[in-house]
């Protein structure tokens, strides 16, 4: 018997980790048992096949100071319908130049307010009468959220105070550690404030979910809260349907693939991969190619070489076929202090998908991270744990030359994914969390 769940913040989509994980975990839920309250930006990428009851957090829920309201003109609040949202999205696309200028101005504005810490004190949500009525009409038994901002913490806590539904929080990254890193003023004050409010909402939580065993252990010590671990599960039948074994025997070229976001916590590692491939091609005359499927590929303009192929992202449903076509999958995390703090306890969404693919994985990540330790312990990837061009170059050469090693990593990865990330067993365990 599925219960009614109100989801705050993240939404159903297949464009990034949080949405993919959310979609996979709630896949079996009846549509009429789900409702999502989120922002305009999130609604525009939402999957209305997974959920039809969306509420836009707009003007009525905006409790920001006048400075924010002057720069950010939020749209009307209320229930959103798919057809209306598509029309609105199409009209926005026709104003692409104006939209680009506005986005640029807003980006500059946000940099300014983040440096001053004004986003913490001036950007707020409030519970409007319209929103409360919508929640009461839906009458959820649970509230689920992937918290990531002070605004969401306070909003979720306020909703819990008047609603008293069972609250389930799912932590995807260790954002409480890095949320104030751009703030130049009153940083200590905001760290203490956020920790206090986060602890308060955790104390009200019916269940805490974390993304990895490493995060589970850390949060038990840090916040005194036990948690259940839920990483992104994989639909085994979908990933193995029509599967053909990866071409382990490298022939004309050795093709490396990276898919996903390029930015915070991984861009430096992707750039050093390009250097390593360049060295191998020039000095050893190996024909190695790098394929990148990402919306953030503009960052690579100055790094483009003849062996780099930039592609637009493909649909998530087409990922199994794509990953099967390559000789090696690259999974990077950056090595600077800020990136380590942010990703130390995380398990990237694509990790389970890379593992089930049957294509060998090269992990380039700091030894301090849970991801590195997990891969090393379970032997599902070739791991490089130092930010060293030589070490990364040697790892690529080894994987290019040694068929036995590639086969071993691919086999171990698939077996681990089948045992630990199969959607059937993970969803069953997840659904039990929501039983009443």
* pLDDT tens for each residue of the chain, 436 residues long: 799 999 999 999 998 889 999 999 999 999 999 999 998 888 989 999 999 999 999 999 988 887 777 667 678 999 998 755 554 555 445 555 566 676 677 777 777 778 887 788 888 899 999 999 999 999 999 999 998 889 999 999 999 999 899 999 999 989 888 888 888 877 888 889 999 999 999 999 999 999 999 999 999 999 999 999 999 999 998 888 755 555 545 467 899 999 988 887 888 999 999 999 999 999 999 999 999 998 886 666 656 678 899 898 898 889 999 999 999 999 999 999 988 988 899 999 999 999 999 999 999 999 999 999 999 999 999 999 999 999 999 999 999 999 999 999 999 999 999 999 999 999 999 999 998 6
Examine the domain organization and report whether 296 and 211 are in the same domain. no
Q: Distance (Å, rounded) from C-alpha 357 to C-alpha 174?
A: 27
Q: Distance (Å, rounded) from C-alpha 150 to C-alpha 157?
A: 11
pTM of the model: 0.88
CATH code: domain of residue 368: 3.40.50.2000
pLDDT at 92: 47
Examine the domain organization and report whether 220 and 82 are in the same domain. yes
Examine the domain organization and report whether 289 and 147 are in the same domain. no
Examine the domain organization and report whether 223 and 289 are in the same domain. no
Q: What are the pLDDT digits (tens) for 102-118?
A: 667 777 777 777 888 77
Q: Do residues 242 and 249 touch, judged by C-beta distance below 8 A? A: no
Nearest to 15 by CA among 418, 295, 306, 250: 295
Cα torsion through 151, 21, 333, 9, rounded to 10: -10
Examine the domain organization and report whether 222 and 304 are in the same domain. no
Q: Which residues are 364's β-sheet partners?
A: 332, 384
Burial code (b: 16+ CB inside 10 Å, e: under 16) for 237-248 equals: eebbeeeeebee
How many structural domains are present in the chain? 2
pLDDT at 86: 54
pLDDT at 112: 78
Parallel/antiparallel/unpaired status of strands 78-80 and 54-56? antiparallel
Examine the domain organization and report whether 52 and 83 are in the same domain. yes
The upper half-sphere exposure of residue 207, i.e. CA atoms within 13 Å in the direction of its Cβ, equals 19
Examine the domain organization and report whether 298 and 321 are in the same domain. yes
Examine the domain organization and report whether 350 and 376 are in the same domain. yes
Burial class (CB in 10 A: 0-12, 13-18, 19+), 76: exposed
Q: Distance (Å, rounded) from C-alpha 202 to C-alpha 212?
A: 18
Count CB-CB contacts under 10 A for residue 250.
Answer: 18
pLDDT at 302: 56
Q: Do residues 177 and 341 touch, judged by C-beta distance below 8 A? A: yes
Residue 333 dihedral angles phi and psi, to the nearest 5°: -130, 145
Which residues have a Cβ under 8 Å from the Cβ of 343 and sit 6 or more positions away? 173, 174, 265, 333, 334, 365, 369, 371
Q: Distance (Å, rounded) from C-alpha 419 to C-alpha 182?
A: 40
Q: What are the pLDDT digits (tens) for 373-404?
A: 999 999 999 999 999 999 999 999 999 999 99
Examine the domain organization and report whether 224 and 306 are in the same domain. no
What SS3 class is residue 411?
Answer: helix
Query: By residue range, what is the domain housing residue 112?
Result: 5-233+425-433
Examine the domain organization and report whether 248 and 192 are in the same domain. no
Examine the domain organization and report whether 154 and 285 are in the same domain. no
Examine the domain organization and report whether 218 and 363 are in the same domain. no
């Amino acid at each position: 018997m599925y219960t009614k769940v109100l989801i705050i913040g993240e939404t159903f989509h297949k464009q990034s980790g949080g949405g993919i994980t959310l979609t996979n975990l709630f896949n079996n839920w009846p549509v009429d048992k789900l409702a999502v309250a989120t922002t305009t930006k999130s609604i525009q990428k939402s999957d209305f096949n997974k959920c039809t009851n969306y509420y836009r957090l707009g003007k009525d829920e905006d409790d920001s100071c006048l400075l924010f309201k002057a720069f950010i003109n939020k749209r009307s609040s209320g229930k959103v319908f798919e057809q209306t949202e598509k029309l609105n999205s199409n009209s926005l696309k026709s104003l692409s130049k104006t939209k680009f200028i506005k986005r640029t101005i807003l980006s500059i504005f946000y940099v300014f307010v983040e440096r001053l810490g004004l986003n913490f004190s001036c950007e707020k949500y409030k519970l409007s009468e319209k929103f409360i009525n919508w929640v009461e009409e839906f009458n959820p038994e649970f509230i689920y959220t992937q918290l990531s901002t002070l605004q969401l913490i306070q909003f979720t806590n306020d909703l819990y105070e008047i609603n008293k539904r069972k609250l389930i929080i799912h932590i995807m990254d260790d954002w409480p550690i890095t949320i104030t890193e751009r703030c130049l003023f009153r940083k200590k004050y905001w760290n203490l404030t956020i920790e206090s409010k986060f602890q308060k909402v955790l104390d009200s939580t019916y269940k805490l979910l974390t993304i990895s065993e490493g995060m589970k252990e850390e949060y038990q010590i840090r916040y005194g809260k036990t948690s259940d671990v839920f990483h992104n599960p994989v639909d085994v039948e979908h990933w193995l349907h029509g599967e053909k074994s990866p071409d382990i025997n490298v022939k004309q070229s050795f093709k490396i693939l990276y898919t996903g976001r390029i930015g915070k916590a991984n861009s430096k590692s992707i750039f050093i991969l390009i250097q390593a491939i360049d060295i191998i091609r020039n000095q050893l005359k190996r024909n190695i190619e790098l394929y990148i499927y990402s919306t953030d590929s503009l960052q690579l303009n100055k790094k483009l070489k003849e062996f780099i192929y930039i592609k637009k992202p493909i649909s998530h449903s087409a990922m199994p076929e794509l990953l099967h076509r390559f000789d090696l999958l690259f999974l990077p995390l950056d090595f600077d202090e800020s990136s380590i703090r942010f990703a130390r306890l995380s398990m990237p969404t694509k990790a389970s998908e890379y593992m089930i693919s049957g294509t060998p994985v090269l992990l380039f990540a700091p030894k301090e991270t849970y991801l590195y330790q997990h891969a090393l312990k379970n032997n599902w990837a070739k791991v490089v744990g130092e930010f060293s061009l030589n070490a990364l170059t040697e790892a690529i050469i080894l994987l290019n030359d040694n068929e036995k090693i590639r086969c071993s990593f691919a086999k171990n990865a698939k077996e681990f994914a089948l045992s630990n990330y199969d959607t059937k067993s993970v969803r069953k365990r997840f659904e039990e969390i929501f039983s009443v």
